[in-house]
Amino acid sequence: MRLLQISIFLSLFTIFLAGCIDIPIGSEGKLKVSKDNIKISDEEGNEQNISIDTEGENVTVSGSGSGSENEDVSMNIGNNVELPETFPSDIPIPEKANIFQATEADGMISIAYDAPTKVEDIEKLYTDYINSEIFSEQNSVIEQSGDINYHQYTAKRKEGTLNIRVMNSEKYADGSNVIIMLVKDNENK
């Protein structure tokens, strides 16, 4: 019994030291795990790659694929993460905002932030913004209130639909938590 335990331990230790494992999945698919990334391939040779990068307090998870669903995805999580390069520069963000999440996927960009700015001031910022000349069609503004202060704005832009959700921040006593998502129309992806 002791010999079997030692053999299993040495096998697992060898795999760990090698830093790479190929695991067959499905009929001809493979899951390859290495120090740098996880690669999933199917029987047609299409691959999906997932990598995780930690930089200080921030974590970046990114993935890319090949084949019919060739989609690049990137998610940054942490404190004061950078905006995605394709995030529209005309969408206002308060100066003291702490962007803690930024995601970019095929046809979708989203960010989430906390700010020490009062919810009423954030609401005015985005109400003024969606009533500006930037939008191509009729805007729809939906306001929902309950036990918490929650407001959602939806507006049609020339490249897609913009959704903004504003609520009370858990981080700042009188602050705001905001999620902004732009979903691009098929012709604008």
Residue-level pLDDT, tens digit, the chain, 189 residues = 555 555 565 555 555 545 555 555 666 667 676 666 667 777 776 776 666 666 677 777 666 655 445 567 788 888 898 999 889 999 999 999 999 999 888 789 999 999 999 998 998 998 888 877 776 555 555 544 444 667 888 888 878 888 999 998 888 888 999 999 999 877 655
DSSP class of residue 124 equals H
Distance from C-alpha of 157 to C-alpha of 137, rounded to nearest angstrom? 7
Give the pLDDT confidence score for residue 67 in this predicted structure: 47
pLDDT at 95: 92
Q: Give the pLDDT of residue 182.
A: 93
pLDDT score recorded for residue 138: 54
SS3 122: helix
pLDDT of residue 176: 93
Res 188: pLDDT? 55
Question: How high is the pLDDT of residue 150?
Answer: 77
C-alpha dist (Å) from residue 38 to 27, 48, 114? 19, 8, 32
Phi, psi of 13 (to 5 degrees): -65, -40
Residue 71's pLDDT is: 62
pLDDT attached to residue 68: 45
pLDDT score, position 19: 53
Rounded to whole angstroms, the Cα distance separating 160 from 108 reads 9
